[in-house]
Chains A and B, each alone.
Chain A
Amino acid sequence: MSSGFQARLALGIKVPKVIFDPAEFDETMKELIDKHEVPDWHQNCYGAYFPHIHAVYLNVSSFGKRHGSEDKGFIGDLIETIAHELAHARFPGLPPHGDEFYKAVKEILDGKRFPWVIVALPKLPNDKILVTGEREEEEDNN
């Protein structure tokens, strides 16, 4: 990798934006929900991934409190939800919530490491996410 590319990675590439309260949704997020383009969204969902703006909603106040969550607790629900929502981001080519998707989620939860991808965000909300390249280096300290 060229030093210029490394510098641009350090400056311009970020992890997903994290939202914790629907009151923090901006107009773009509301529009995506209205258009049913947020696969996991419903009022009491654990989490949701907003594909066009690379943002994750996490309903942290509900983690560990639902029926069936007693053994997992807050951290268990949190990690399962993050793995699920990030799988939407990392594998945009997989049909959401299909067998291959859940296989990928399980691999994430099992600790598997995947090659780097850079998800290029479109400027228009209706454009599709483009996966522009892959690299195998470990995480940059940015």
Chain B
Amino acid sequence: MVLPTTEKELDEWKREVAIKHVKRLSGQIGLRHQGAEGDL
């Protein structure tokens, strides 16, 4: 595991962690949405 050492790397790490938890919690609460272009 490579720890972030610069502000930019830290910001990217925070974004990656955030997206991971958005996906996890979206799955946990059963949330999905129909695409805005209506492809469902």
Contacts of B11 in A (CB 8 A): 60-61
Asked whether B26 lies within 8 Å of A119 as measured between CB atoms, the reply is no
Q: Are B19 and A18 in contact (CB under 8 A)?
A: yes
Q: CB within 8 A of B22: which of A11, A56, A90?
A: A56
> Total A-B residue pairs with C-beta atoms closer than 8 Å?
108
Given contacts A12-B39, A60-B14, A61-B14, is CB(A132)–CB(B34) below 8 Å?
A: yes
Asked if A106 lies at the interface with its beta carbon under 8 angstroms from chain B, I say no
B3 within 8 A of A: no
- Please, how many residues of chain A have a CB less than 8 angstroms from a CB on the other chain? 43
Known contacts A56-B22, A60-B15, A113 near B35 by CB under 8 Å: no
Smallest beta-carbon distance B4→chain A, Å: 12
The A interface is mostly helix, strand or loop, or mixed, namely: mixed
CB of B7, distance to nearest CB on chain A (Å): 10
Q: Are B27 and A82 in contact (CB under 8 A)?
A: no
In this complex, what residue of B is CB-closest to A60? B14
How many Å lie between the Cα of A132 and that of B26 in the bound state? 17
Query: What chain B residues lie within 8 Å of A63 (beta carbons)?
Result: 14
Chain B residues within CB distance 8 Å of chain A? 11, 14-15, 17-19, 21-23, 25-36, 38-40
Q: A63-B14, A112-B28 are in contact. List 11 more A-B contacts (CB 8 A).
A: A18-B15, A18-B19, A56-B22, A58-B22, A75-B17, A82-B21, A89-B33, A90-B30, A108-B25, A113-B28, A115-B30
